[in-house]
């Protein structure tokens, strides 16, 4: 059986079997593949890197979206940067407070491919009347926004390399802050793995702290990424990790039209538990603020070699 082998850093990685590559195509930006795997069901890969799997994707999508959407006092306008498979969009639309969700994705082919071959990820989200899909560079879109019109901005981006590199810099985060409506606006993104890539983890944290007053981290083991993964929640006044279990339960039932598959109040508490590896990562000597003038992460490597 063919194997997908992905490095998590230059010295270790993970693998899973592929019983069949079902579709392979090349867009203007990347190679897009759909594979069948005994472990994860259908898998979407971009340039050979696992993006989303049928089995277990909710651990990632729910953990990224729900804390931001519950902590903001009234999230009505939401911007998603990247997220072409529609999983983040699906999670956003479960919230009754949402009036408008704009998704800016670089590659139209990822959207059409995901709609056709992995429709269970978006679960009809692309047809919701509250949705606007913009095809283009997420950074250019945010820079061109003239008003602070979003309550929540969620970034679901490929790892910092190639076309996504300029979306992990201090300058970009400052632009995100500019388009957030009010000091309670929340920006959420994945934050790499504090165990597999402690330097990248610490760089993202340090860079967010340059721009936002309150930066909180959450952690979950995400099988499709083969390691402990992190999620960042940044705001000037909204503390995304501070709800009590009772408030999480009552806010979720008041705001959400569907029960999450993975997520609940106890998981919320577990997500925001202090992670010793993350504390240790922050004192790594190579960790630095990522800026436009040098957007390359100090621990950059090729996951396919
Ligand atoms: N959850 C996945 C992960 O953490 O690896 C990311 C999945 S999502 C499919 C990532 C999306 O980001 C891709 O569809 C890719 O085309 C998009 N993307 C990459 N660079 C971008 C950019 N500059 N602007 C907007 N979208 C971008």
CA distances to 79, 92, 97, 148, 163 from 257, rounded to whole Å, are: 20, 11, 10, 27, 35
> Distance, CA 28 to ligand 1 centroid (Å)?
14
Q: With a 6 A CB cut-off, is 175 part of the ligand 1 pocket?
A: no
Summary mean pLDDT of the chain: 97
Active site residues: 156
> What's the mean pLDDT in 143-156?
98
> What does the alpha-carbon distance between residue 237 and residue 72 come to, in Å, rounded to a whole number?
10
- Would you place residue 84 in the very low, low, confident or very high pLDDT band (cuts 50, 70, 90)? very high
For residues 252 and 175, the answer to whether their CB atoms sit within 8 Å is no
Q: What is the pLDDT of residues 116-128, one digit of tens each?
A: 999 999 999 999 9
Average pLDDT over residues 28-38: 98
Band of pLDDT at residue 253, cut at 50, 70 and 90: very high
Burial, 300: exposed, middle or buried (Cβ in 10 Å; 0-12, 13-18, 19+)?
A: middle
Give the pLDDT band of residue 304 (cuts 50, 70, 90): confident
Q: Does residue 87's CB lie within 6 angstroms of at least one atom of ligand 1?
A: no
User: What CATH number does domain 2-53 carry, 2.40.420.20, 3.30.450.20, 2.70.70.10, 2.30.140.10?
Assistant: 2.30.140.10
Q: How confident is the model at residue 62 (pLDDT cuts 50, 70, 90)?
A: very high
**Homologous superfamily of domain range 58-282:** Vaccinia Virus protein VP39 (3.40.50.150)
Q: Where are the domains of the chain?
A: 2-53, 58-282
Count CA within 13 A, CB hemisphere, residue 17: 4
The count of other CB atoms within 10 Å of the CB of residue 234 is 30
Q: Which residue of 117, 157, 188 sits with most ligand 1 atoms within 8 Å of its CB, as the best mutation to test the pocket?
A: 157
Ligand 1 centre and the CA of 237: distance in Å?
Answer: 28
| pLDDT beyond 90 at 1 | no
Report the separation in Å between the CA atom of 33 and the middle of ligand 1, taken as the mean of its atom positions: 14
**pLDDT at site 305:** 80
């Amino acid at each position: 059986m063919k194997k997908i082998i992905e490095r998590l850093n230059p010295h270790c990685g993970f693998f899973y079997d592929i019983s069949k590559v079902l579709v392979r195509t090349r867009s203007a930006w990347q190679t897009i593949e759909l594979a069948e795997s005994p472990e994860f069901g259908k898998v979407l890969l971009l340039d050979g890197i696992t993006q989303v799997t049928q089995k277990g994707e909710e651990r990632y999508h729910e953990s990224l979206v729900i804390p931001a959407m519950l902590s903001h006092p009234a999230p009505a306008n939401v911007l998603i940067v990247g997220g072409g498979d529609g999983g983040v969009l699906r999670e956003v639309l479960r919230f009754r407070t949402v009036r408008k969700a704009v998704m800016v994705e670089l590659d139209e082919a990822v959207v059409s491919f995901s709609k056709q071959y992995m429709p269970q990820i978006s679960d009809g989200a692309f047809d919701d009347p509250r949705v606007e899909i913009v095809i283009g560079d997420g950074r250019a879109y945010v820079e061109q926004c003239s008003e602070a019109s979003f309550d929540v901005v969620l970034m679901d981006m490929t790892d910092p390399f190639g076309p996504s590199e300029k979306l992990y810099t201090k300058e970009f985060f400052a632009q995100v802050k500019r388009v957030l409506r009010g000091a309670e606006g929340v920006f959420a993104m994945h934050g790499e793995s504090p165990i597999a890539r402690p330097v990248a983890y610490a760089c993202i944290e340090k860079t967010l702290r340059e721009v936002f007053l309150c930066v909180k981290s959450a952690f979950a083991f995400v099988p499709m990424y083969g390691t402990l993964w992190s999620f960042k929640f940044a705001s000037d006044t909204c503390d995304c990790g501070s709800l009590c279990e009772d408030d999480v339960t009552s806010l979720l039932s008041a705001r959400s039209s569907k029960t999450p598959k993975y997520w609940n109040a106890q998981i919320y508490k577990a997500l925001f538990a202090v992670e010793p590896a993350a504390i240790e990562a922050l004192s790594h000597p190579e960790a630095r603020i990522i800026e436009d003038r040098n957007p390359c992460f100090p621990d950059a490597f090729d996951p396919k070699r």
